[in-house]
Each structure stands twice: as C-alpha cells, then as structure tokens.
Amino acid sequence: MSTPTLQATSISHKFDYPLFSDINFTLYPRESAAIIGRSGSGKSTLLHIFSTFLQPNGGKVKLLDRDLYTLTQSELEKMRRYEIGIVFQFHYLFKGMSAMENISIASMLSGEKIDEKLLCDLQIEGLMGQKISELSGGQQQRVSIARALCKKPRIIFADEPTGNLDKETANIVMDVLLSYIKEENATLLLVTHDMQIAEVCDKIYRLEDRGLRLI
C-alpha cells in the first residue's frame, strides 16, 4: 500500500470548551473524504489543523510524509505554496483585484501555468476580467477553487466548496475536484453540510461527541 498523504494521530483541541479528543485519521493518494457534522462541532478547526494552519493542543499530523510540528517556518511555507491547495469557507480572495489577477498570483507563486481548461470546466472563463467584488458568492467560490487547483497541489482541503452553489453547479465543481485527484494522484478532504456532496466521496466521516467516525 502507498504512503498516506495525511496521517493524523490522537488529535485533541479545545478553545473555550473541548472540541475533540483522540482523533485518528488517514487518507491515501487518489482518495477523497468528506467530513460532516453540526455547525460548531469543529469541522473547520480540524481542517485548519490538518492543513498546517493550526497546531492542536495534542497529537501529531504527518502530511506528505513530514511531521508538521518538526518543520521550520520556511519548510511549512514551501509546503503551503507548492503542495497544499486550500479552499476556505470564506473565500479570502483579493477583493479589489480581478478574478484573473487572483488566480495569476497563485500560479506565479507556485510556478505552474494557469490551466485554461480548468477555468472552462468551472464555467468561469468569461468572468476573468471582473473584480472579485463584482462577482456573486458562487462565482467567487469557483474562482477560489480554480486558484487552489492551478498550482497543482498534492492535497486539497476544501471547506464547504459547494456551499453557495445550486445543485447543478455543485455537481460540476465536484466533478472537477474528483477528476483532478485521479489525474494528478492527489488527495481531497472536504467539509460539507450536503449529504449528496459527501456521498460522491470515497469515505464519509461525522464529527460529533468530540470524535470523528466513519459512516
């Protein structure tokens, strides 16, 4: 069996109250997994932990064969720039810039060319000249997905990537994400409230009662 892309061991974390404890999670290349759970259960927090942005109170995360908490700041930054694709729950695009400028920055930083086909598949090729502030929520969401994919990441973390989309567009986005991981030997971990979206992933986990369970 191949090396896991992501292996988290005994993760625990609390903010004002304990969110979860002893979470173990493994994901392999070409696999996709969805995490579902009530609002406030800690899904985004867990995604931030797995994707290098938050160090938990306890436990270990091994991502792309590296122990995250032994890496230097510059090693972490390199991973984020070249290997990890993130679609945040709130888009974090540069609002005053055009869609194309937002995508170009990611492509420049990673040294990968912008994939025109990807823009067409996401049906955003006609929006490239528009400012982010002039785009709808769902259009921004797809720009944000294009920005994450254009650097050819080895793992994609997506927090409610279809949250603002109608069913048809949501299905298009899922096709794009799942084709990407098969073509590039990558891995996908997403958070969603939509069971139909979760069901197209290889595995579904529910975060509840402070634990993560395969369902």
Ligand X SMILES: Nc1ncnc2c1ncn2[C@@H]1O[C@H](COP(=O)(O)OP(=O)(O)OP(=O)(O)O)[C@@H](O)[C@H]1O
Q: Which residues of this chain interact with ligand X, rule CB under 6 A?
A: 15, 19, 37, 39-45, 89
* Angstrom distance (rounded) from CA 62 to CA 111: 25
Contacts 24+ apart (CB under 8 A), 68-71: none
* Shortest reach from residue 190's CB to ligand X, in Å: 12
26 binds, among ligand X, Mg ion, none (CB under 5 to 8 A by kind): none
40 binds, among ligand X, Mg ion, none (CB under 5 to 8 A by kind): ligand X
* Angstrom distance (rounded) from CA 168 to CA 189: 21
Query: Token pair 């932990």 is at which residue?
Result: 49
Site residues for Mg ion, window 50-109 (CB under 5 A)? 89
Judged by beta carbon, residue 41 or residue 52, the one nearer ligand X is: 41
* Segment (H or E) for 158: strand 155-159
Judged by beta carbon, residue 139 or residue 192, the one nearer ligand X is: 192
215: CB partners within 8 A, 6+ apart: 204, 205, 206
96 binds, among ligand X, Mg ion, none (CB under 5 to 8 A by kind): none
> Which residue number places its CB atom closest to Mg ion?
44
CA-nearest of 86, 63, 85, 87 to 75 is 63
Judged by beta carbon, residue 19 or residue 128, the one nearer ligand X is: 19
* Segment (H or E) for 12: strand 6-14
* Shortest reach from residue 205's CB to ligand X, in Å: 12
45 binds, among Mg ion, ligand X, none (CB under 5 to 8 A by kind): ligand X
Judged by beta carbon, residue 20 or residue 180, the one nearer ligand X is: 20
Give the strand pairing for 6-14 and 18-27.
antiparallel
Judged by beta carbon, residue 25 or residue 128, the one nearer Mg ion is: 25
Judged by beta carbon, residue 56 or residue 85, the one nearer ligand X is: 56
Query: Token pair 């979860």 is at which residue?
Result: 20
* Shortest reach from residue 207's CB to ligand X, in Å: 7
Single out the residue of 44, 51, 102, 141 in contact with Mg ion (rule: CB under 5 A). Answer: 44
4 binds, among ligand X, Mg ion, none (CB under 5 to 8 A by kind): none
User: Sign of torsion, CA 41 212 67 190?
Assistant: negative
Q: Is 162 one of the binding residues for Mg ion (CB under 5 A)?
A: no
Contact 50, 8 (CB under 8 A): yes
* Angstrom distance (rounded) from CA 77 to CA 148: 15
